[in-house]
Amino acid sequence: MVLRLVDVMARDLGVTRKPGDDAAGHAFAVRTTFTALRFWMQACCIDDGYGGAMGITQTSVEGKASDWIVQLNAMYPWLEDVFTSTMLHQYCSALVGVGDLARTDEGTLRCTRPHNLAVPYGTPHQVYKDGTAVTAQLGLRDLSMQDWRACVLSGAIVFAGVPEHDGMVSFDPEAIDPRLPYHDELLFLATWPGG
């Protein structure tokens, strides 16, 4: 029963097991929780009593996320050590940095509508000069309805238009243009914990 929760979340989000995952499923549970956290924080912003029109403070988002982690930790007792308050703050700030959550003039956070963010992308350490880009899919999306062709789920971000290498479609985080103003936030969301 306990493993079923992570399995259901993973199926809905498109998170897959990796050959190097430990037999107990710790890495898989952490990876799935990390991916789901993006959508949990977005949902918190909608739960403001006004259908998301007002938003809630970042402190409240992080507090609700922390409560969710505590509940999950009852079934997966290693999560609380991984998802610390510092990490949750960095995560929420990263969502604001890439435009997945928007800060209002009143200082609250609102969930953004589904939108695409073009991310200049190329071979590692040599960004293409021809304007090649992948698309980060942001905003509150139903990933269970996602058309996964030519898409890669990396961390908490879905990338579309990822180039094919040797017949394999995969996302290389080192290929994100390092000059982007939101580079660090995008990299955190795409690669933590360990890609």
Tens of pLDDT along 38-70?
A: 999 999 998 877 777 788 999 999 999 999 999
CA distance 118 to 80: 34
Count, residues in the chain: 195
List the structure tokens of 103: 């800060």
CA distance 156 to 32: 9
CB 195 within 8 A of CB 173: yes
Strand ranges across the sheet with 133-138: 115-120, 133-138, 157-160, 151-154
pLDDT tens string 1-25: 445 888 899 988 888 888 888 877 8
Q: Which of 107, 194, 191 shows the shortest CA–CA distance to 153?
A: 191
pLDDT tens string 103-154: 999 999 999 999 999 998 887 656 666 668 899 999 988 877 777 777 888 9
Query: Beta strands of 14-71 (E only): which ranges?
Result: none
Q: What angle do CA 61, 65, 70 make, to 5 degrees?
A: 150
pLDDT of residue 84: 95
